[in-house]
Amino acid sequence: MADQAPQSATAPVAAAHDTPHTGGRLVLNVTSDPANLAPVRRACEAFCRSHGLSDAAINDVGLCVNEAMANITRHAYDGATDKPIVVTAEAIGGDGQDGRPGVRITLRDWGIGVNPLAQPPRERDPMRPGGLGLVCLRQLLDDARFDPQPDGGMLLTMVKRKA
């Protein structure tokens, strides 16, 4: 990805969502507006379905994409709803340790660039909302990693492999 936000990053998700995901790649340039959560989730789920993931795996990916996008808005962009996010989904071959094909989804932001895994864990309080995004990423995906970018943003890479 580029070191700066692409000019088209503020395009409405509807236009990006209509982009055909034929082949092995889908790219969505959206803003951090919570109204984009459901369309981005649906586009990623459709991509996963078209690449042979099971219904359970598709649901796992959808939930993780939703959580990640919400956390970008909340934490990386401090609630701003007009900041760029680039979501990319790619089909991957059997290049993992277990040799299973699957899907890799990345979310790129240009926010504060703080790796949530480097932060001290928050004490879990069931009466306080939030705090489940990282739990979802760790338990529902085959791999999830945060890579701070030189320009201060973050690249989240999530991998879900076929069963």
What is the C-alpha to C-alpha distance for residues 89 and 101, in angstroms, rounded to an integer?
13
Nearest to 156 by CA among 131, 130, 138, 129: 138
Residue 126: pLDDT band by 50, 70, 90 thresholds?
Answer: low
Assigned domain for 73 exists: yes
Q: Quick one: what percent of the chain has pLDDT higher than 70?
A: 75
Domain count within the chain: 1
Q: How far is CA 85 from CA 77, 97, 162, in A?
A: 10, 30, 26
pTM higher than 0.85: no
CATH number at residue 114: 3.30.565.10
84 domain-assigned: yes
Q: Considering the domain boundaries, does residue 141 fall inside one?
A: yes
Residue 2 lies in a domain: no
- Cα–Cα distance measured from residue 45 to residue 37, given in angstroms and rounded to the nearest whole number: 12
For 80-118, what is each residue's pLDDT tens digit? Answer: 999 999 999 999 987 656 678 999 999 999 999 877 777
Q: Is residue 124 part of a domain?
A: yes
In degrees, rounded to 5, the angle at the alpha carbon of residue 156 between the alpha carbons of residues 29 and 46 is 55
Q: Domain span at residue 100?
A: 7-161
Asked if residue 1 belongs to a domain, the reply is no
Establish if 133 belongs to a structural domain. yes
> Is 55 within the bounds of a domain?
yes
